[in-house]
Amino acid sequence: MSQFDIKTEKVAVLMGGVSAEREVSLMSGNGVLQALQSLGVNASAFDPSERNVFDLKKEGFTRCFIALHGRFGEDGTVQGALELLGIPYTGPGVMASSIAIDKLMTKHIWRADGLPTPAWKNVDSAQATRAAFAELGCPMIVKPAREGSTLGLSKVTSLAQCDDAFTLAAGMRDEVLCEQFIAGDEVTIAVLGSGAQAQALPVIRIVAPEGNYDYQNKYFTHSTQYLVPCGLPEGEEAHIQQLVLQAFKSLGCRGWARADVMIDAATRQPYLLEINTSPGMTSHSLVPMAAKAAGISYPELCLQVLTLASRDYAL
């Protein structure tokens, strides 16, 4: 982590990009940009889909806030470019970012470290999806392995739905993951900080219409309820926060991230679903909500994340 001087640094807020989450990224990036400017930070918008990333060095940017989501922003690629340019950036480094966006690799590492995650199968055809349904049970989740914001995701409740679910997920030009469905409370937990200073923010419990927390209900409606305080027993909330800290460190994350967790209604066992290394910062986003519950305003959150900007290697 490099020392941040608000008076001398020139900050680029990377937003937009070319992923399927471009629209959300622009909303996140503009929110961050306005917040940093309101604090006196010399910050400018930078869209890598419209400008050459190497212009960052030419134009004298000294630090980057990554508000890109999905591929070519959250997957280690732009992090690698910034490493070559020697510019500190927010969020985890190259390896952690590339692993975290891949739900299959993430699950392998968490399972190896003894962390709970739902059972899964990697499939390459509709036939394999039907076989996974027979093994994993009903309902089953089918989703792309490297997309976020529930894009391409289906909840399968019958064998007849498997073909369409595979086609939808595979249409994202990605590997397809079939996952055991965990019925129960859906929660999300943000982590802020690095190493021993990393802290889990308050747990948020998500109550979506008919349990359907899809792309529309995430970003464009006001029907979803976000409960913070989450209403879970105190010991259970603390246990989940500790689990997410372990998951964060297991992948080598730093700076910030947000993990999604399902709690089995029958056993109260929490299961890690995935971790987002460039979380949303829109008006509907959950990290700002958790930060507010911890007494951190949106502009203060943006500044804290920016201050934590770092690189894997010092040139």
Catalytic residues: 21, 149, 219, 258, 260, 274, 276, 280
Report which DSSP code applies to 310.
Answer: B
β partners of residue 184: 264
Give how far the C-alpha of residue 177 lies from the chain's centroid of Cα atoms, to the nearest Å.
17
Cβ proximity of 46 and 15 under 8 Å = yes
Residue 139 gets the label, from left (phi > 0), alpha (psi -120 to 50) or beta, of: beta
Q: How far apart are CA 43 and CA 242, in angstroms?
A: 34
Short-list 167, 156, 208, 166, CA closest to 186: 208
CB atoms < 10 A from the CB of 114, how many?
8
Greatest CA span in the chain, whole angstroms? 61
Q: What angle do CA 63, 51, 23 make, to 5 degrees?
A: 85
